[in-house]
């Protein structure tokens, strides 16, 4: 067991966005989360690295780190959680006034206060890894959407997290740019990264996932291997969703 999520709940006012979520993630596994808009997918992802603070629930990691929500939490504990999970955002979230290289070095240098030379070497190797060695001195406006997203992946890797989180990493991209980003994620999968990916790309989910979660109205409706959830769903709601995505 890499990460255990128990009883995770989150409300915004009277709207219950997450309703008692329970998940177990094994090390090196790739979990993809699918579901309609407003089902709580992104909120769940953001709760896993303290971008949103759950109202209740417990996150327990394999190394003994555990955080229980519902009481006042120390900032140090939340910072430790945020360092464990690197986040790749739907809309890139790059600093527009910083180069690709500066975007990647920002977290390790400013937040983690790491050695500048080591961070620069790491950032350059990560940009090479995502196929952007020749773009490191360009600014976001000089890059395509797919290139910006790959910078985002390098930036998330730069904090050296244990868990990678992807929030609809291809949904803002033109169709011809999707493949480059998915290839980078597939390469990370081959390296054995533990990942949670929110996606609407069902074919991609089928190819890379160890397990697929279908969410609706803040709840996990179904979870299982891709062959079961996508091809032989047990729940009618899952089947309806897949049919609408496949045959819009």
Residue 47 falls within a domain, yes or no? yes
Residue 28 falls within a domain, yes or no? yes
Confirm if 139 and 99 have CB atoms less than 8 A apart.
Answer: yes
Residue 110 falls within a domain, yes or no? no
Q: How does pLDDT run along the chain (248 residues), one tens digit per residue? A: 899 999 999 999 999 999 999 999 999 999 999 999 999 999 999 999 999 999 999 999 999 999 999 888 888 888 889 889 999 999 889 999 999 999 999 989 887 888 899 999 999 999 999 999 999 999 999 999 999 999 999 999 999 999 999 999 988 888 888 889 999 999 999 999 999 999 998 989 999 999 999 999 999 999 999 999 999 999 999 999 999 888 76
Confirm if 9 and 55 have CB atoms less than 8 A apart.
Answer: yes
Domain count, the chain: 1
Handedness of CA 29, 166, 226, 126 (dihedral sign): negative
Residue 151 falls within a domain, yes or no? no
Residue 16 falls within a domain, yes or no? yes
Residue 135 falls within a domain, yes or no? no
Confirm if 208 and 32 have CB atoms less than 8 A apart.
Answer: yes
Confirm if 80 and 65 have CB atoms less than 8 A apart.
Answer: yes
CATH of the domain at 179: 3.40.50.300
Confirm if 156 and 84 have CB atoms less than 8 A apart.
Answer: no
Residue 158 falls within a domain, yes or no? no
Handedness of CA 91, 96, 99, 102 (dihedral sign): negative
Show the domain range for 88: 3-92+166-246
Q: Cα separation of 102 and 173, whole Å?
A: 23
Residue 144 falls within a domain, yes or no? no
């Amino acid at each position: 067991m890499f990460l255990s999520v128990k009883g995770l709940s989150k409300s915004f006012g009277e709207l219950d966005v997450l309703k008692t979520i329970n998940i177990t993630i094994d090390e090196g596994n790739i979990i993809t989360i699918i579901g309609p808009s407003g089902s709580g997918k992104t909120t769940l992802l953001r709760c896993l690295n303290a971008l949103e603070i759950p109202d209740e629930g417990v996150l327990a990691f394999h190394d003994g780190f555990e955080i229980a929500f519902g009481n006042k939490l120390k900032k140090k504990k939340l910072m430790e959680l945020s360092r464990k999970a690197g986040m790749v955002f739907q809309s890139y979230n790059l600093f527009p006034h910083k180069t690709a290289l500066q975007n990647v070095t920002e977290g390790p240098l400013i937040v983690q206060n790491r050695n500048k030379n080591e961070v620069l070497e790491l950032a350059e190797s990560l940009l090479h890894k995502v196929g952007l060695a020749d773009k490191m001195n360009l600014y976001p406006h000089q890059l395509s959407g797919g290139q910006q997203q790959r910078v985002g992946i390098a930036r998330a890797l730069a904090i050296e997290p244990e868990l990678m989180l992807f929030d609809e990493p291809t949904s803002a991209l033109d169709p011809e740019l999707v493949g480059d980003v998915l290839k980078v994620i597939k390469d990370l999968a081959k390296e054995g990264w533990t990942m949670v990916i929110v996606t609407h790309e069902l074919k991609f989910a089928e190819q890379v996932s160890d397990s697929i979660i279908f969410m609706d109205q803040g709840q996990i409706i179904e979870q299982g291997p891709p062959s079961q959830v996508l091809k032989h769903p047990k729940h009618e709601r899952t089947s309806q969703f897949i049919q609408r995505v496949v045959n819009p």
